[in-house]
A = this chain, B = another copy of it.
Amino acid sequence: MTSPSPAPAGPRTVFIVSDGTGITAETFSHSILAQFETRFRNVRIPFVDTIDKAHLAVRRINDAFEAEGVRPIVFTTLVDPVANQVLRDAKAMILNMFQTFIEPLENELGLKSTHAIGRLHQNADTEAYKNRIEAINFSLMHDDGQSHKNLAEADVILVGVSRSGKTPTSLYLAMQYGLKSANYPLIPDDFERGKLPSALLTYKSKIFGLTIDPARLSEIRNERRPGSKYAALENCRYEVNEAEAMMRREGITWLSTTHKSIEEIATTILQEIKVERDY
């Protein structure tokens, strides 16, 4: 299918050619190329939604080939058959993420694909999109216990000590999944009272806890407020112990964010709150 090229001197150039933003294709290519212990130079060519733009993309790809002496790798999600035909003439290895899977799917489903350009990217004029924007605004307004208003609307309420990862996770859940996510810090006042913040008591079923290794927490807090009591390991140990004890007592599910990315935290939360959506 492809013949080996000689190993290049510099990083191999990788093009992402898409009729939309190319973000999904770029993330995917990034993931798969991480399986190779070599470096790549990444060039995304988005919005290739005319034949002229396809020709321009081919020119850029061929220029890279001439300059580097080794053919670039192209990940593409172009839908238009004519644009794909144009792209096939580039001096490059073409990995077509669209065509590779669409034909077997057509056979499996017994349906023809619509070949609709733009379907491969997020559309701003849909209900789902408006929900995402609304969820982002909700999460911002309900960041760090700022507002008790409309908590009944929240899909999830994150709790945890300061700097345990609540804010980025809330925003990610909103941005990626359109989930209205509030977050509340658990603070020494709560530990002395031995109770969850009272605003939360009626919503216990949608509370999810984040915890973190005290040493890591101390590191993170020291970047913000070096040498403070807030950041001291002893204090971090106290807060984390108290927070975990409280969550245990209240029957709140929690996870440790210490070595987890936002995406991993969000995925775990989604599994717990069992959100499954049709589309």
Interface size for A (C-beta < 8 A) is 89
**Residues in B neighbouring A133, C-beta threshold 8 A:** 168, 262
What is A's interface to B at a CB cutoff of 8 Å?
Answer: 1-7, 11-12, 20-25, 27-28, 30-44, 46-47, 73, 77, 79, 93, 95, 97-98, 100-102, 104-105, 107-111, 113-116, 119-125, 129, 132-133, 136-137, 140, 143, 167-168, 171-172, 175-176, 259-264, 266-267, 270-271, 276-279
CB-CB nearest 6 A-B residue pairs: A35-B113, A124-B261, A21-B267, A122-B261, A31-B120, A34-B119
Cβ of A31 and Cβ of B119 under 8 Å apart?
yes
Provide 6 A-B residue pairs closer than 8 Å at the C-beta atoms, listed in order of the A residue.
A24-B27, A36-B105, A39-B278, A42-B277, A42-B278, A136-B171
| Alpha-carbon distance between A38 and B111 when the two chains are bound, in angstroms | 9
CB < 8 Å: which of B25, B123, B168 contacts A261? B123
**Residues in B neighbouring A270, C-beta threshold 8 A:** 44
**Residues in B neighbouring A35, C-beta threshold 8 A:** 79, 102, 113-116, 119-120
Rounded to whole Å, the gap between the CB of A137 and the closest CB of chain B is 8
**Residues in B neighbouring A278, C-beta threshold 8 A:** 11, 39-42
